[in-house]
Amino acid sequence: MSGIAGFVGRETPATLRIRVVEDMVQTDAMQRRGPDSQGTVVADERVVLGNTRLRVTDMRNSEADMPMQSADGMLTLTFNGEIYNHLDLRRLCPDYHFRTKSDAESLLAIYQRHGLDMLSMLEGMFAFCLHDRSARRTLLAVDPTGQKPLYYTLGAGDELYFASDIETILRIPHLNFSWDREGLAQAAGIMFVFGPHTHIREIKKLEAGCCLVVEQGERPRHRRYHKIVIGDELQQDVTAITERIRDAVAAGCTRCFDLEIPYAYLLSGGIDSSSVVARARRQGLELHTYAIGFPESGLRAAAIMHNEFSYSRLVAEAFGTEHREIEVTSQIYCEAMDRWWSLCCEPNGAPEAVCLFLLLEQIAADGHRVAFCGSGPDEVFDGYSHGHRLKTIPSRLVAGAYFDYFNAVGDIDLGQLMLEVDARAAFISAVQPYLDLYAHDTQDSQQLTCLLDYHGECVVSEYRQIDMASMAHSIEVRIPLADQQVIQSAFSFLPRLKHYEDSEKWIFKQAMSPWLPSTISSRKKIGFPVPQMVYASPEFEARMESSLEPDSGLDKLGLFDMAYLRRAWRERRSRGYDIFYRLHGMDVIARRHSSYLSPKDPPA
């Protein structure tokens, strides 16, 4: 696990860019990502790579630090993530002389043998840049699930800068940046920025399952090397389907469980996290589980969400875990929210991220360097019933209906909030390339909605918050149920089985039921326990009032009708607080990032 950064550019002396990359590696965000080692390597006269490493695999071997070079010096790699099948890849490279046991070196070996074709051979989570001096080629790639971020920008003359964190790029002294109003509108309207865009016009994110190839003297070429394959949508054999899902979950967990350092488990008591714990018990692993929630005494009877401690305790008792609970009050939440937003490099409007941030902070404090979580199945198996709700919508209307149904803006009129930018149109425009990607594979609206959930809410929102929250505490989070086989199994049967007999995620529950207590496998989905009353607390109200002041970050964006927003805040009702949470976060980020958007002098 690491932070990566670098420069790929014209054939000018690399010494002119070494200092820039060295400074990128020194940023606070990069240091948190990799507190154990840091380095910068000149790969050739046009490529400089930097890395900060959190030692997890082959952790006691300094030769596994990065950037890493092949023995002949022809290949240079900066890599973030974990390749779970790296031992299998080594067996495919019998002629390579390995100096470490690290998965990073397995990447070098398999590339040396298979070139760009190696991307389809990797299983795990990753973002990396690999420079091949002999071929005069640089490859940047992100895994098919997009768990690890890679942001990039093109400077003058097609110079490419990249990093694991947006703010690391924003700090480059000679590059100019501006707000992406359509991206900001998406973040305000539906919580995240879909596709390759960010809230900064000049900075893009490399999408899941995509790569950039930079050949000598050419512009970077963007290529998608992976997409979900839609299987037989008429398959209704429940026994065969559930066996395939169960086998995929078991294999995904086994791949992730190969560790040499202390680890823990996030346990909400839902079916996903409980399935991971159940599999770990079957494999005889140590079980340190953690749950977080709000005390029952602090919740109103009408609260939409509540803590799930009774369920997580049941699972902990069933599998004999060493279990710890963390209680959160409104004051604790808002204080943690301040720290969370101060670290976020892009708008991410999921309010449960603050609880995740607190949970991982405690796990790290207890000495764990790796944590396992159960994210992933909700989106692909329709755990939120989004696909079920839109199953009768014509496929050509899915994008707009998705925005209308799931934007969580309460009574706010987005047209009045943002007079000059249409958030709905911006979202539809960003989503359309993904619908086009699967246009010849399925026209089932429930299936398409699950695909949008996956590429958007899961990859862009949930996995990004997991990455930012974990890296804030220098801890690695592994997501066994994000395994490609698990994801693929969710799109290989009749879509209606995802929501069946009035049960969301029905087929996944059937698959996991042999592993779990019946109370867990049959329970209804309730989401993460962040009660709406937290946003009605005096602590949150004080913070939101600051965001509504003249000359606040929101005001200076020039995107919002602040008079309308102030009125909407005063007249708010019991629902729709989510948009105020994400607007407050946008305000904090805008205040911090605005200083980087002033015009800068060109490099000397």
Q: Which residues are annotated as a binding site for ATP?
A: 266, 292
Q: List C-alpha distances in Å: 410 to 68, 272, 306.
A: 50, 29, 20
Q: Percentage helix, strand, coil, to 5, in the chain?
A: 45, 15, 40
Compute the distance between CA of residue 73 and CA of residue 53 in angstroms, rounded to an integer: 20
CA 26 → CA 4, 20, 167, 203, 323, distances in Å? 11, 10, 12, 20, 37
In the annotated binding site for L-glutamine, the residues are: 103
Contact 500, 390 (CB under 8 A): no
Our measurement of the distance from residue 68's CA atom to the centroid of its chain's CA atoms, rounded to an integer in Å, reads 25
Q: Which residues belong to the annotated binding site?
A: 103, 266, 292
What is d(CA 254, CA 20) in angstroms, rounded to the nearest whole number? 41
Specify whether the backbone of 146 is left (phi greater than 0), alpha (psi in -120 to 50) or beta: left
Angle at the Cα of 166 (from 132 to 35), degrees rounded to 5? 75
Q: Provide the terminal-to-terminal Cα distance of the chain, rounded to the nearest Å.
A: 34
Q: What is the DSSP string of 19-63?
A: HHHHHHHTSHHHHHH-BSEEEEEEEETTEEEEEEE---TTTT-GG
**Cα 107 from Cα 89, distance rounded (Å):** 8
Sign, CA dihedral 351-352-357-359, equals positive
Q: In whole angstroms, give the CA distance from residue 455 to residue 533.
A: 30
Spatial CA neighbour of 149 closest among 481, 589, 466, 479: 466
CA distances from 172 to 190, 203, 592 (A): 30, 12, 15
DSSP 89: H
Contact by Cβ (8 Å): 45, 11: yes
Residue reference for tokens 């102030």: 566
Neighbours of 601 (CB within 10 A): 8
The CA distance from 476 to 478, in Å, is 7
Q: Which pairing describes strands 137-142 and 124-132: parallel, antiparallel, or unpaired?
A: antiparallel
What are the two backbone dihedrals, phi and then psi, of residue 293, each rounded to the nearest 5 degrees? 180, 180
What are the backbone angles phi and psi of residue 113, rounded to the nearest 5°?
-90, -35
Buried b (16+ CB within 10 A) or exposed e, 563-596: eebeebbeebeeebbbbbbbbbbbbbbbbbbeeb
